[in-house]
Amino acid sequence: MERTIIRTEHLERVYISGAVKTYALRDISIEIEQGEFVAIMGKSGSGKSTLLHQLGLLDKPTRGSITIDGSDVINISEKERTIFRLNELGYVFQSYNLIPELTAMENVYITAMARNVKREEYEKMAEDILTAVGLEERMHHYPSELSGGQQQRVSIARALINKPKILFADEPTANLDSASSEDVINLFRRFNEEIGQTIVMVTHEKDEGEKADRIIWVKDGLLDMDRQAGI
């Protein structure tokens, strides 16, 4: 049976700088089911990243509600939000944000260490997930010894090691060549199909959006109903 994992109601995010108000999100009400692979698409400046940041608890809306797996994640303390992010959510960004002094494996298990998992356990988990992203031969390499596509796969492994309820990806292929981009999207597709990983991804690329189960089109901070209806 389908189960809603993310629900937003009347989400608004206004940025205020001096006398200028920017309505990045005006009124967004959406539902995402557990196990769905959803792409958020729309023109530059339409509000895609802002929406992803609200859903991923990286920012707070100025109005509206968000529930994740039935929990209100807005009216809780910053400390509770931090714990929720660490335990329940994973992130992949356009830049890989790997720590240069750490190997691929260390970069991956650092998030498991933060959760007080035992050493033998987190090393095994890192090995398994790096193997799953095709980097079994590169575990002890440093980021500078890896290609962009390989570094992004390390960051995906890092995001997945804690088995997050939801994986958020903000233009994960923006810095990659077309072959590496395809690898990343195929990996998402595979994790989605094989382990039912819920994925919410912002992308500019139509062919990437088409590999998701569904596209949420955004325009001027609202859902783009015409695109949604395929008009």
Ligand X SMILES: Nc1ncnc2c1ncn2[C@@H]1O[C@H](COP(=O)(O)OP(=O)(O)OP(=O)(O)O)[C@@H](O)[C@H]1O
Cβ proximity to ligand X: between 149 and 221 the closer is 221
d(CA 71, CA 35): 18
Query: Is residue 22 near ligand X by the rule CB under 6 A?
Result: yes
- Return the axis-axis angle of helices 119-132 and 104-113, rounded to nearest 10°: 130
Q: Distance (Å, rounded) from C-alpha 76 to C-alpha 86?
A: 15
Residue 43 C-beta: closest distance to ligand X, Å: 7
Phi, psi of 99 (to 5 degrees): -85, 120
Instruction: Tell the smallest beta-carbon distance from residue 20 to ligand X (Å).
Output: 8
Q: What's the burial of 209, exposed, middle or buried (CB within 10 Å: 0-12/13-18/19+)?
A: buried
With respect to ligand X, which residue has the nearer C-beta, 49 or 103?
49
Would you say 12 or 106 has its CB closer to ligand X? 12
**Candidate list 11, 39, 42, 61; residue touching ligand X; CB under 6 A:** 42
Using CB under 6 A as the binding criterion, the count of chain residues that bind ligand X stands at 12
Tokens read off for 118: 């035992």
CA 177 remoteness from chain centre: 20
Exactly one of 50, 150, 155, 180 binds ligand X (CB under 6 A); that residue is 50
**Interacting residues with ligand X between 2 and 21 (CB under 6 A):** 15, 17
Which residue among 6, 30, 37, 46 contacts ligand X (CB under 6 A)? Answer: 46
Tokens of 209: 């959006």
Rounded-to-10 torsion of CA 181, 173, 100, 162: -90
Residues counted in the chain: 231
Applying CB under 6 A, which part among 39-47, 75-83, 87-95, 119-127 lies near ligand X? 39-47
Instruction: Out of 39, 47, 68, 135, name the contact with ligand X by CB under 6 A.
Output: 47
Cβ closest to ligand X, residue 49 vs residue 181: 49
What does the binding site for ligand X look like in residue numbers (CB under 6 A)?
Answer: 15, 17, 22, 24, 42, 44-50
